[in-house]
A and B are shown apart, each in its own frame.
Chain A
Amino acid sequence: DGGITQSPKYLFRKEGQNVTLSCEQNLNHDAMYWYRQDPGQGLRLIYYSQIVNDFQKGDIAEGYSVSREKKESFPLTVTSAQKNPTAFYLCASSISRRGNQPQHFGDGTRLSIL
């Protein structure tokens, strides 16, 4: 089945630790996105990539980093510089690089602080 796979489903971070969230898609989509979802707020864009080896910061990129070495993969690292990392993280992809086609989402990773 085509889709987006995020792992792990739950992740715990210790103080001062970097953690990496995985996102893989087999939809052959060019564009990929990372969002953060907090209760009572709309999804906020962290980073996006429209093509391999290129990515741009979204609205809340501080404390996060990404890479896009393969079309199928767009991992997100939450660094120790992100002081409030507890949230639900969603990865999405789209066939359109410009965003005028719907994005399709994975089932998220819930990150908590130990």
Chain B
Amino acid sequence: EDQVTQSPEALRLQEGESSSLNCSYTVSGLRGLFWYRQDPGKGPEFLFTLYSAGEEKEKERLKATLTKKESFLHITAPKPEDSATYLCAVLSNDYKLSFGAGTTVTVRA
């Protein structure tokens, strides 16, 4: 059974304190990995797609990386507006999409 695990469940950061979120997966072959940001009471907002190990994508203070077994979302010098829940989703070879439970990031000024 496909499994996607995100850690930590919650992360509290001081403004400017860089950190990383982890998404580890066990799937029957990887077709793609997606990162989303979700604000309270809203739907997930698409951030990045990664398709193969070694690939990296960047957007403002966020950088996503991918290995054969996990992905990291690095937040560099975060600001309070980066506070959100970050979700990852993994697409397996049989086109099944599995979501992790998310990491809730709180950035204090």
Instruction: Identify the A interface with B (CB < 8 A).
Output: 4, 6, 40-45, 90, 92, 98-108, 110
Chain B 15-46, CB-CB to A under 8 Å as 1, else 0, gives 00000000000000001101010000111111
Instruction: Identify the B interface with A (CB < 8 A).
Output: 4, 9, 31-32, 34, 36, 41-46, 49, 87, 89, 91, 95, 97-102
Report whether over half of chain B's contact residues are helix, strand or loop; otherwise say mixed. strand
Chain A residues in 8 Å Cβ range of B91: 99-100
Report whether over half of chain A's contact residues are helix, strand or loop; otherwise say mixed. loop
Cβ–Cβ contact B41 & A42, under 8 A: no
Total residue contacts A-B, CB cutoff 8 A: 51
Chain A residues in 8 Å Cβ range of B89: 42-43
Chain A residues in 8 Å Cβ range of B9: 40
Cβ–Cβ contact A106 & B99, under 8 A: no
B73 to chain A, nearest CB (A): 15
Which of A90, A98, A102 sits near B43, CB closer than 8 Å? A90
